[in-house]
């Protein structure tokens, strides 16, 4: 009954919406309001063994923490580590059989210590706290990469381009995962996008029941009302931001395009914005790639010389940047409790995840 109530309430709320209001627009400049404030980070744990099933794969696309403090790493396959960084098990092998999952995707924390893995290929798998598969849900193709449960399982907000006729192009969707097949309740966003564009879409955060988003390819933060209409738009005017191109990594003579990766609110209501930007050494990252070459191996570009993480703490109430810091690591995920996951490479060439505790030090 609770699930039905949530879906019916959402449907009635959307159907009964009044005419959309004109959103308030706020411009945020580049000046740092608190020059003496510092963003600090402290390593909590390192994840990734030297070899064996606990070694990280070549691609790590996300990290999530379940209600028991375990780290779920979105790799191939997805791996689970305890709170101290010790490897526990593979979430599930890939395959069509019992105890297997059809594809790998980003883990998403659910209420009650459960977890969801949606692979973007039309499959979502719910895991119980004891790491068993509880339920399988069919989803629209292309959906489910970034999801935020609002009222599980009745309302889940998802960022991605659904590859079906009607919602195609909208970057954000409200779905119900209540049945064996996910149902689209509403698709929305500022503009429709092309399925052929790379790096498009939004990143989501929910605070006090309200949805906030940031566009990946422009520094635009939006607050949405309960009908998922924009009510406030914060446009960040950053001198270092450059217009994005279709090639995020850039080239020998073009620096990488900045990209918004995640947003998260702290206990004071300040918004932490995580962005991938080019390092000062970005040109050196292309030293092993001959000019004019269009196809190359993944290892030809020195990603650690090319990209880093920029963190900004934004006071939306006052419309200003409080603090800014550059972290010489590759961002992976924002985590609960003021933490974030970064990729690092050891002197021995071993890829590991650092879980860092972040804080704002005021002076």
pLDDT band with cut points at 50, 70 and 90 for residue 1: very low
The answer on pLDDT for 356 being more than 60 is yes
Please give the average per-residue pLDDT across 55-77, as a whole number: 93
CA angle 314, 37, 331 (to 5 degrees): 60
Please give the average per-residue pLDDT across 340-351, as a whole number: 92
Residue pair 258/277 in contact by the 8 Å Cβ criterion: yes
Instruction: Give the range among 54-58, 136-140, 181-185, 294-298 with minimum mean pLDDT.
Output: 294-298
**203, β-bridge pairs:** 214
Taken in order of first residue, the domains within the chain and their CATH numbers are 2-12+29-361 (2.120.10.30)
Please give the average per-residue pLDDT across 62-84, as a whole number: 95
Residue bearing the bigger pLDDT, 1 or 29:
29
Highest mean predicted confidence (pLDDT) among 71-85, 108-122, 237-251, 295-309: 71-85
* The two three-digit tokens of residue 315, written as one number: 């006071």
| Start-to-end C-alpha separation, the chain | 51
Q: What pLDDT is attached to residue 120?
A: 72
Please give the average per-residue pLDDT across 125-131, as a whole number: 95
Phi, psi (degrees; rounded to nearest 5) at 284? -65, -25
Print the SS3 string covering 276-332: EEECCCCCHHHCCCCCCCCCCCHHHCCHHHHEEEEEEEEECCCCEEEEEEEECCEEE
> What is the C-alpha to C-alpha distance for residues 283 and 280, in angstroms, rounded to an integer?
8
pLDDT band with cut points at 50, 70 and 90 for residue 12: very low
Query: What does the mean pLDDT of the chain come to?
Result: 88
pLDDT for 316-325, tens place per residue? Answer: 999 999 999 9
Residue bearing the bigger pLDDT, 114 or 20:
114
pLDDT band with cut points at 50, 70 and 90 for residue 14: low
Please give the average per-residue pLDDT across 286-293, as a whole number: 86
Q: What pLDDT is attached to residue 103?
A: 82
Phi, psi (degrees; rounded to nearest 5) at 95? 165, 175
pLDDT for 36-50, tens place per residue? Answer: 999 999 999 999 999
Residue pair 353/30 in contact by the 8 Å Cβ criterion: no
Phi, psi (degrees; rounded to nearest 5) at 85? 90, 5
pLDDT for 185-224, tens place per residue? Answer: 999 998 876 544 545 688 999 999 999 999 998 899 999 9
Residue bearing the bigger pLDDT, 9 or 312:
312
């Amino acid at each position: 009954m609770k699930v039905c109530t949530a879906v019916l309430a959402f449907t009635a709320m959307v159907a009964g919406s009044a005419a959309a209001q004109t959103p308030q627009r706020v411009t945020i400049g580049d000046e740092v309001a608190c020059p003496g404030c510092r963003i600090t980070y402290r390593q909590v744990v390192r994840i990734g063994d030297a070899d064996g099933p606990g070694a990280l794969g070549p691609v790590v696309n996300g990290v999530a923490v379940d209600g028991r403090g375990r780290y779920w790493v979105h790799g191939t396959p997805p791996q689970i580590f305890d709170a101290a960084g010790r490897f526990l098990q593979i979430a599930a092998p890939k395959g069509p059989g019992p105890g297997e999952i059809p594809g790998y995707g980003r883990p998403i924390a659910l209420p009650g210590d459960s977890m969801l893995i949606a692979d973007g290929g039309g499959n979502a798998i719910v895991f119980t706290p004891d790491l068993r598969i509880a339920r399988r849900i069919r989803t629209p193709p292309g959906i489910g990469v970034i999801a935020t449960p609002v009222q599980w399982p009745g309302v889940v907000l998802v960022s991605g381009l659904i590859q079906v006729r009607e919602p195609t192009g909208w970057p954000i969707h409200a779905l119900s995962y209540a049945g064996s097949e996910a149902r689209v309740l509403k698709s929305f966003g500022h503009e429709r996008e092309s399925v052929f564009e790379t790096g498009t879409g939004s990143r989501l955060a929910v605070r006090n029941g309200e949805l906030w988003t940031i566009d990946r390819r422009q520094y635009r933060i939006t607050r949405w009302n309960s009908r998922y209409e924009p009510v406030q738009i914060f446009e960040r005017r950053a001198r270092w931001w450059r217009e994005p191109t279709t090639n995020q990594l850039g080239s020998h003579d073009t620096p990488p395009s900045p990209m918004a990766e995640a947003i998260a609110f702290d206990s004071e209501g300040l918004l932490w914005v995580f962005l991938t930007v080019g390092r000062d050494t970005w040109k050196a990252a292309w030293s092993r790639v001959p000019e004019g070459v269009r196809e190359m191996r993944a290892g030809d570009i020195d990603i650690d010389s090319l990209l880093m993480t920029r963190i900004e703490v934004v006071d939306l109430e006052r419309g200003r940047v409080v603090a800014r810091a550059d972290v010489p690591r590759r961002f992976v995920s924002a985590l609960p409790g003021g933490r974030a996951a970064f990729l690092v490479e050891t002197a021995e060439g071993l890829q590991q995840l650092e879980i860092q505790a972040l804080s704002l030090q005021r002076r």
